[in-house]
């Protein structure tokens, strides 16, 4: 497999990846050809294949680029955590929420990918796109468990998975919810994250015997 973006001529890599990102977001993996990418980027098809040996390789490079900023920020949170579990959950939740809302077209690529579930793609995504995020989040939560902040027996990644699920729900349904009564907390991103973290930390029951 050829090496990805960091070793390409910067301007050419940016043109090809930007064109591919735009097309994949609009048409999905199956709806995009390497001819279309070349035309959109203003380069030859041979040039695209020179840098990316296949459409699959180009697609993975696009997905990795889409998450680069989030991956960097999650690593920073893991490297310099706060003193409290709630603070760290809130920081991660805010990062995901900001990433979703600031990159709507890019996020649609991931939404489409997870819905289509192309054969063999899950393994490639896990290894080449999501692995660094998982390492950062697992490290953050394992440290919390070792400090006694996270209850023993709780899978360290489970709270993060629930937080990501909450952000995904907000991204997909906040606009619809904004037209329904009594949903103010569910349509303000900051309040939504605060509420999600509060529920993760303290649950929803007012008494312990319910």
Q: Are residues 59 and 85 in the same domain?
A: no
Which residue, of 50, 65, 80, is where some domain finishes? 65
pLDDT digits 0-9 by tens, 113-137? 777 777 777 888 888 888 899 999 9
Q: Are residues 74 and 46 in the same domain?
A: no
Q: Are residues 55 and 85 in the same domain?
A: no
Per the structure, the complete domain to which residue 180 belongs is given by 67-202
> Going by C-beta distance under 8 Å and a sequence separation of 6 or more, which residues neighbour residue 125?
60, 63, 113
> Going by C-beta distance under 8 Å and a sequence separation of 6 or more, which residues neighbour residue 63?
109, 110, 113, 125, 128, 129
Nearest CA to 161 among 93, 98, 101? 93
Question: In CATH, what number is assigned to the domain containing residue 99?
Answer: 1.10.357
Q: Are residues 17 and 29 in the same domain?
A: yes
pLDDT above 70: residue 10: no
Judge whether 167 lies within some domain. yes
pLDDT digits 0-9 by tens, 12-34? 878 999 999 999 988 888 899 99
Judge whether 186 lies within some domain. yes
Which residue, of 48, 65, 82, is where some domain finishes? 65
d(CA 84, CA 144): 8
Q: What's the pTM value of the predicted model, to 2 decimals?
A: 0.81
Which residue, of 44, 65, 86, is where some domain finishes? 65
Q: Are residues 111 and 168 in the same domain?
A: yes
Q: Are residues 46 and 71 in the same domain?
A: no
> How many distinct structural domains can be found in the chain?
2
Judge whether 156 lies within some domain. yes
């Amino acid at each position: 497999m050829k090496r990805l973006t960091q070793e390409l001529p910067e301007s050419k890599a940016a043109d090809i990846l930007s064109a591919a990102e735009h097309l994949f977001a609009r048409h999905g993996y199956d709806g995009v050809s390497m001819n279309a990418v070349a035309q959109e980027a203003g380069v030859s098809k041979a040039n695209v294949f020179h840098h990316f040996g296949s459409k699959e390789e180009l697609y993975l490079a696009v997905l990795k680029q889409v998450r680069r900023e989030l991956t960097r920020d999650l690593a920073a949170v893991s490297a310099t955590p706060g003193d409290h579990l709630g603070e760290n959950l809130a920081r991660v939740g805010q990062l995901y929420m900001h990433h979703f809302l600031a990159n709507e077209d890019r996020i649609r690529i991931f939404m489409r990918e997870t819905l289509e579930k192309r054969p063999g793609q899950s393994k490639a995504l896990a290894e080449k796109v999501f692995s660094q995020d998982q390492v950062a989040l697992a490290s953050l939560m394992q440290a919390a468990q070792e400090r006694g902040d996270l209850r023993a027996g709780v899978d360290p990644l489970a709270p993060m998975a629930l937080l990501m699920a909450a952000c995904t729900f907000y991204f997909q349904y906040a606009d619809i919810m904004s037209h329904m009564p009594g949903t103010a907390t569910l349509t303000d991103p900051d309040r939504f994250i605060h509420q999600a973290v509060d529920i993760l930390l303290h649950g929803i029951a007012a008494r312990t015997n319910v």
